[in-house]
């Protein structure tokens, strides 16, 4: 009799474990899917940061930059987004200088040819704190990327990512655009 009771108790425990697993398994799958999806978004943001910084650094090493050079630098920045699609990447570039006489921050030039980015309307505001001295100049790069999440079961299907990078000219006080 005691053996029958023990067998029935063991069978009931196995059934309870199966029911608990059936309840918990979907939650664990959703958590795992969300974790993988979120890590992809974070990696895309990191790649976008690298792309923006690459563009800023490449331009900052020049004394004179042309549209053709910016196009080449754009290609290099796009490569930083691999393995993600680059169709949603847009990069805008501007040069900002603090006037040697008045101390006001002004826009020297801008270019939006990399992915048809939007004009940097706030470039002077963005760069005001990184151009501390009169006569100083900086390159401002703003990159935006629309990330399409392949695992949109838990997270949104798209994320709009933005990154701003700054670089001081290396070879001259300003970078001229021609």
Structure tokens at 115: 């992915």
Contact 100, 135 (CB under 8 A): yes
Q: What is the pLDDT of residue 126?
A: 80
Mention every residue, 6+ apart, whose C-beta is less than 8 A from residue 163: 45, 48, 49, 51, 52, 142, 143, 144
Q: Which residue do the tokens 């958590």 mark?
A: 31
The DSSP letter of residue 66 is -
Q: Which residue do the tokens 């029958």 mark?
A: 4
Residues 60, 116: Cα–Cα separation, whole Å: 21
Residues 111, 175: Cα–Cα separation, whole Å: 13
Residues 2, 60: Cα–Cα separation, whole Å: 84
Residues 5, 18: Cα–Cα separation, whole Å: 20
Q: Whole-structure pTM over 0.95, yes or no?
A: no
Contact 142, 164 (CB under 8 A): yes
Residues 58, 60: Cα–Cα separation, whole Å: 6
Q: Which residue do the tokens 């401002």 mark?
A: 140
Q: What is the pLDDT of residue 167?
A: 94
Residues 139, 136: Cα–Cα separation, whole Å: 11
Q: Report the sign of the C-alpha dihedral through residues 12, 14, 20, 22, in that order.
A: negative
Structure tokens at 144: 């935006």
Q: What is the pLDDT of residue 34?
A: 86
Q: What is the pLDDT of residue 86?
A: 87
Domain ranges in the chain are 2-177
Q: What is the pLDDT of residue 59?
A: 95
Per-residue pLDDT of the chain (178 residues; tens, 9 = 90+): 667 765 665 666 667 777 788 889 899 988 888 888 899 999 999 999 999 999 999 999 999 999 999 999 999 999 999 999 888 899 999 999 988 888 888 889 999 988 876 766 688 788 878 887 888 899 999 999 999 988 777 788 899 999 999 999 998 888 999 8
């Amino acid at each position: 009799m005691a053996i029958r009771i023990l067998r029935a108790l063991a069978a009931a425990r196995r059934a309870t474990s199966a029911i608990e697993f059936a309840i918990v398994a979907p939650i664990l799958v959703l958590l795992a899917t969300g974790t993988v999806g979120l890590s992809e978004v974070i990696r895309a943001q990191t790649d976008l940061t690298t792309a923006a910084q690459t563009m800023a650094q490449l331009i900052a090493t020049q004394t004179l930059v042309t549209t053709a050079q910016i196009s080449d630098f754009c290609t290099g920045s796009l490569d930083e987004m691999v393995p993600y699609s680059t169709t949603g990447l847009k990069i805008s570039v501007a040069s900002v200088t603090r006037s040697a006489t008045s101390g006001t921050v002004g826009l020297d030039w801008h270019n939006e040819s990399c992915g048809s980015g939007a004009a940097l309307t706030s470039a002077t505001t963005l760069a005001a704190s990184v151009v501390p001295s009169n006569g100083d100049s900086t390159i401002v790069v703003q990159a935006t990327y629309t990330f399409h999440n392949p695992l949109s079961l838990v997270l949104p299907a798209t994320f709009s990512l933005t990154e701003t990078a700054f670089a001081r000219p290396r070879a001259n006080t300003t970078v001229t655009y021609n």
